[in-house]
Amino acid sequence: MKSILMISLHGYVGANAELGKPDTGGQVVYVLELAERFSRLGKKVDLVTRQFEDQPEYDIVDENYSVWRIPFGGKKFIRKEDMHDHLKKFVTNCLAAIKKEGKKYDIVYTHYWDAGWAGQKIAEELGISHVHTPHSLGWWKRHTMGSDMDEVEMEKTYRFKERIRKEYFVYQMCNFVIATTLPQVDLLTKQYDVLSRNCGMIPPGIDENRFFPVPSKENDKVRSKYDIHPNDILALGRMAHNKGYDLLLQALPTVLELCPEARLVAAIGGDSDQDKEGIEKLKILAGELGVMDKIKWKNYIADEDLANVYRSANIFAMPSRYEPFGMVAIEAMACGTPSVVTVHGGLYDLIDFGNQALFADPHRPVEFGAMMSMPLLYPKLRNELSVEGARFSRRNFGWTGIAKRILKIFDNSINLQSMESNIYTH
């Protein structure tokens, strides 16, 4: 296996991705890191995505790896929920471009349902294997959001019925599904009828060269640059309903009752109108809760500043309503910052509570607030979580090791498909 066609269609995918833009978060980091590690391991990689706005056709990363943009769906941004309407055009344009360029691939590796549906069609046309990573599952997302939104409005916004139908097709037809958490594997077999031999779990990774602890004295110098205080709680990520930032604000009065010196640093969202609207709603809620003066609002954190921002906080909080994995928490832990994570996600199942991290239900504000207060109240606990969390994160989630495990799955899929082809032709 020498050449990989990776496909990730939505968001702003590029060699230097603009993280924080709409639909551009953890999945984009995952895809870019894997593409780079595949390249380092000697594989040829074309990472195919959508060309829109004024983006160039190619970002040449190195002699083995390029980001290749195929135009479809016009020049404007298309949110991932609306990719349904444009996927057939992508398949046509991508296959034509592959033929025109004379490219040859050994395997298709796709990410999220939109690229998965298109990638399955492309793999069938090219006669090669297809491996897929869902990142999140439509059934789980709809089921988890059911109590928070009107069903008609939810279907209009997220088009779950159509998404789940396409997901079912992808998971049944592709050679292997790589889930990022154990609960995803369970859902794939129970809700999507995937054969257990055709799916497995490999977690996301972290860049071990960027995310690591530093001495506390060094941290003291860094804090002043980012206006982060020693008792600050950090929340960081895209502005999205599932991230649960409103639930985090509701937990803040409990934190302040126990630790009056605490403060929340909310590094949330980007510059889009949608993000600004979401942040304004959070500010209104903060005012109603009487915690506005205890929040430092930050917008987009530049990639080069990310590790230092993680290190500067006392605690990292991930209050998601649902979270397929939670790479931001793993990154924070790798930097030595104790984390409080949601129980509604894959990371929860891997954590040894009180040793590597803490977890709580963000739907119960007092519970979540109490857990965020523990490292602030008890420095010994904070130090324990800092050391053991960093060890856990680095040992289990380095990207090169993750890439090697995925390459083994590629090889197995190619070999199995080759054996089946020989049986059919003879």
Q: Tell me the per-residue pLDDT of 277-297, one tens digit each, with 9 for 90 and over.
A: 999 999 999 999 999 999 999
308, 267: one domain? yes
Report, as an integer, the average pLDDT of 10-29.
Answer: 91
> To the nearest whole percent, how much of the chain has pLDDT over 90?
77
Highest mean pLDDT among 24-28, 118-122, 319-323, 327-331: 118-122
Spacing of C-alpha 223 from chain mean position? 27
- How many structural domains comprise the chain? 2
123 and 237, same structural domain?
A: no
Do residues 84 and 228 share a domain? no
Q: Is residue 51 located within the same domain as residue 114?
A: yes
Q: What are phi and psi of 307, to 5 degrees?
A: -60, -40
CATH number for 161: 3.40.50.2000
- Mean pLDDT of all residues in 333-347: 93
User: Is position 175 within any domain?
Assistant: yes
Question: What is the arithmetic mean of pLDDT over 158-181?
Answer: 95
pLDDT reported for residue 147? 62
Tell me the per-residue pLDDT of 350-373, one tens digit each, with 9 for 90 and over: 899 999 999 999 999 999 999 999
| Domain assignment of residue 211, yes or no | no
Q: Give me the residue label for tokens 């304004």.
A: 280
* Same domain? 46 vs 136: yes
For residues 223 and 200, state if they share a domain. no
Rounded CA-CA distance 401/152 in Å is 43
- pLDDT higher than 90, residue 52: yes
Mark whether 362 and 410 lie in a shared domain: no
pLDDT per position as a tens digit, 193-242: 999 999 999 988 888 889 999 998 888 888 988 999 999 999 999 888 88
pTM: 0.69
Residues 139 and 285 grouped into a single domain = no
Write the burial class of residue 153 (CB in 10 Å: 0-12 exposed, 13-18 middle, 19+ buried).
Answer: exposed
The answer as to whether 374 is a domain residue is yes
Does 412 fall in a domain?
A: yes
Give the pLDDT confidence score for residue 240 in this predicted structure: 87
Domain that holds residue 310: 216-397
Q: What confidence tens digit (pLDDT) does each residue in 129-167 have? A: 999 999 999 998 888 776 667 888 888 889 999 999 999
* Within a domain: 352: yes
Please identify which residue in the block is written with the tokens 């856990």: 392
Q: What is the pLDDT of residue 192?
A: 97
Q: Are residues 84 and 135 in the same domain?
A: yes
Residues 375 and 407 in one domain: no
Residue-averaged pLDDT of the chain: 93
Q: Based on the domain organization, do 367 and 393 belong to the same domain?
A: yes
Please tell me whether residues 50 and 185 are part of one structural domain: yes
Establish if 210 belongs to a structural domain: no
In-domain check, residue 114: yes
Long-range contacts of 38-45 (CB under 8 A, 24+ apart): 38/4, 38/64, 38/65, 38/403, 38/407, 39/64, 39/65, 40/400, 40/403, 41/400, 41/403, 41/404, 41/407, 43/1, 43/2, 43/3, 43/4, 43/407, 44/2, 44/3, 44/4, 45/3, 45/4, 45/6
423 pLDDT more than 80: no
pLDDT above 80 (res 419): no
